[in-house]
Structures are given as structure tokens and as C-alpha cells.
Amino acid sequence: MTLAATHLYDLTISEALAGLRAGDFSALELTDALLDRISALDGELSAFLTVTADRARASAAAADQRRAAGEDAPLLGVPLAIKDVLVTEGIETTAGSKILKGFVPPYTATAVGRLQAAGAAILGKTNTDEFAMGSSTENSGYGPSRNPWDRERVPGGSSGGSAAAVAAGEALGALGTDTGGSVRQPASFCGVVGLKPSYGRVSRYGLIAYGSSLDQVGSLTKDVRDAALILNVIAGHDALDSTSLDAPVPDYTRALTPDLKGLRVGMPAEYFGEGIQPEVERAVRAAVDQLRRLGAEIVPISLPNSDKALPVYYLVATAEASANLARFDGIRFGYSAGAESMFENFRQTRGVGFGPEVKRRIMLGTYALSAGYYDAYYLKAQQVRTLLKQAWEAAFRTVDVIVGPTTPTTAFRFGEKTDNPLEMYLADIFTVSLNLVGMCGVSIPCGFDDLGLPIGLQICGPSLGEEAILRTAYAYEQSTEWHRQKPNV
């Protein structure tokens, strides 16, 4: 590992904005540096499914013209990447699935549109597990992305392409989505910052749905300030999304202070125990000690029923997936097998177009919703989900944030878990609860294991508690050097 260099692609978003505003370089020069980086590295990393070089350069040139005319905007001239489950007008959007190969949407997701309105240049669409169903990007219909810290290991998932791109300097930041940890887990594996906002804080309009009551658009960035900058832009009510919260959007950068005096930090007993890689536990406990030194009060807490979160998640998420993916029928858009009868066309289209993990989850969800099993599985899962929410709400009546490991292990090797879906699902054991209860969380780098692989600290907050988790994350980050470490690529 090496300390950050002075290349343009190594800049954070805030550093890039300062340089652009000072005239140290142009948006076009910055964008070209990122595109050159993609050309040099992505043949091996496969972080991107589509690179939109001409569009990015045109956006950058327009940003330079606007700045020359005296204009400014929150992200004017900043090159970013978009996970390929967010639709983009005029740009192929596949959700990592062969069933959507060649699909070019006629509209743009709200979160992406807000980035563009803020002046960002979109570099392209990043790789993802098919329909965001996975923890490693090994389920992508177009091949996996690779972890920049060790090309023989996964970058996490399902936002693995976005995490790998940011870690390798192929984008200054990226959007991802988080249904059960799909922003936070790859952020941990790739040594970047992954922010999952509260459910409804960011519009889901234009997000290709996996689990509609769980999905949330988030960001992957090089540091916490950049996460706050992106959230400032994408957060807020959207009339096009009925689940969008109509709540004021603060300036999240104002929450970034260097000390934590008066902050109560909950440390759940359930998140430290059997199954955690020893180096992960040591790093997270050391991070908690650092929070104490910064002025936080560490409060031991309990989160009852935490052991039920994973099975509840995989019942709720697969049930919602079985309904959401019914729209992919080979008739209106995407791949079609072209069979003579309608039902045979359905069968062949889905048989060829969907990958094994997507088929597995559709079958699980359909079974859980079927007559005779609904009450025993889906209804029971929703009841336990309510108990989980009550436990988290009770905890936040005594503490401001809750901390623990983002993942039980560091990045694993390709193929290590593909033959055992349950073992793969356990990679999300510490992240799924936040999606079930609709609250917010961020993963930040807090160390490395004995092989030099990044370790993530997860900081959780209540609904609309983004200011508290960003404050905690920023204070820790600025008092350590972990976020300044870069993979040797």
C-alpha cells in the first residue's frame, strides 16, 4: 500500500472542486485523467460495464464553459460513475443481467439527474451482481469485477463495480444501491467510504427494483466529506417516488466536526462474537477506543433478535424480488427468446436471460408467498421485522449511533463461497438489519488484516440520522490515516 499521490485521479471530490475553482486544471483535463485511468486498468478490474467517454467529455467541456462564465454548482465538472441498476436516458442499462442487454432507457433516475443538474460528468455505468442480487459481483451476467487490493479477490457486492472504480481511481465517486449491505459491504472490502441513507431519504425513482421496501440509493467515495457532498445533492423529496420522505435536507458538511464530545456510541454485544475474523474484531475494537479518545461515551447495548435478521431479510427480499422481476417477460423491453406462444416465450426468455442466483431468489420468494406457506414464512418474517425495528428504535433512545464491524471477514477469493449460497449470504450478516428497519449507516476504513486487505467500521444511525453518523465517521477518519491508503494499481 502507498500513500495518496498527486495524480488528478487520486483527488477527492472536495480537492477536485477546490482545484477546479482555483483554475489549477480544467474539468476536461480532470475527466480525461479519469478516462485514461479507466483505459489503463479496467481491462483487468472490470469495474465498468459501459464507459461513456464522449458524453463525459462533453459534460466536462460544458462545465468549463459555465465556470468561465462565472457560474458554479455543487459538483460542477466532477467525474462520477453510476451503478448499472439506475436507469440513464440514452445509455444502456443492464442491471448486470443478460435479460436487459441492449436496453436503453427513455428516462433518467432522479438521483442521477440530480448529479447531472449539479454539474457532474458521468463516466459510465459500473458492474453489479445481476439485479443487485449478490455479495461479490460474481453473479454479474458480464463477469465479475476485481478488488484493486488483490485481483484474486472479490470487491464485494452488489455495488462491487462502483467500489472498485473508486478505490482504483477510476472515478472520484460513484452511486451504488444498498438492499442488504450492497454499498457498505463492498466499501469495506475495497477500503472506501460507503453511505447508505435512510429509507426514503433519496428517491428510488429510476432504480431497477430488487426489494422495494429495502432498496436505497447510496454513494461510494474516498472520504466522508465527499459522501456528505453527494448526499447534499441527491437527498430530498421526489414526487415521482411515493416512498420518498418529505423532510428538509440539511447541509451535511456542517455536521463534520473533529471531536465527538457528548456523543453516545452504542456497542452491541451481538456484533462481537463467534465467526468474526480476529483481525476484523481487533481493528473495530481499536476504532471504538479511538472514538472514546475523541470524546464519545461508549455504551454497551443489546439488539435483541439480531440473529433473526438474515433469515428475515432473505424471506422479505426474495418475496419482493419474485414480484418485481415478473415484469421481465421478453415482450416490452430487453431480451426476448422469440418463441411462438406467449407462455413459451416467457419460459425461454427467463430461462436464458436470468442467471442462477436470480432464479434461486425468485423461486425462494415465490415459494414464501405461495398459498399454504405465506403465513408460515413471509408473514412471520414481517412480524419479526417489526420486532427488529422496535429493538433498534429502543437502542436509539439511549445512544446516538451504533458501531460494529461492517463485515465479519475481509474480501474473500473468487469461487470461495459460490458453491455455498448460505455462506455467501453470511457476508451481509451485519448489514441487513439497517435495510429491514429503514435506518442509515456508513462504512469507513479502520485498518487492514495480515494480508493487507481493508477492514470496515460500520456506524449506524436512526432514520434521518445521517448527520450523526457522518459526524462520527468524519471525526474518526480525520484522526487516522486509513482512508489515505491506496491500493498498488
Catalytic residues: 83, 158, 182
CB 312 within 8 A of CB 379: no
HSE at residue 467, side-chain half, CA atoms within 13 A, is 11
Q: Which amino acid is at 241?
A: D
Instruction: Report the phi/psi class of residue 335: left, alpha or beta, with left for phi > 0 and alpha for psi in -120 to 50.
Output: beta
CB 455 within 8 A of CB 447: yes
Phi/psi of residue 123, nearest 5 degrees: -80, -30
Residue linked to cell 449478490? 134
Residue 233, number of CB atoms within 10 A of its CB = 21
Residues contacting residue 489 through CB under 8 Å, at least 6 positions apart: 41, 45, 148, 168, 169
Please spell the DSSP secondary structure of 342-378, one letter per residue: HHHHHHHHHHHHS-HHHHHHHHHHHHHHSTTTTIIII
Which residues share a beta bridge with 268?
301
Cell representation of residue 405: 464491524
Which residues share a beta bridge with 219?
175, 195
Residue 208, number of CB atoms within 10 A of its CB = 28
Q: What is the CA radius of gyration of the chain?
A: 21
Please spell the DSSP secondary structure of 123-177, one letter per residue: EEEE--SGGG--SSSTT-TT----BTTBTTB---SSSHHHHHHHHTTS-SEEEEE
Smallest Cα–Cα separation from 173: which of 163, 182, 160? 163
C-alpha 420: how far from chain center: 23
Please calculate the CA angle 369-372-378 and round it to the nearest 5 degrees: 35
Please calculate the CA angle 294-297-301 and round it to the nearest 5 degrees: 135
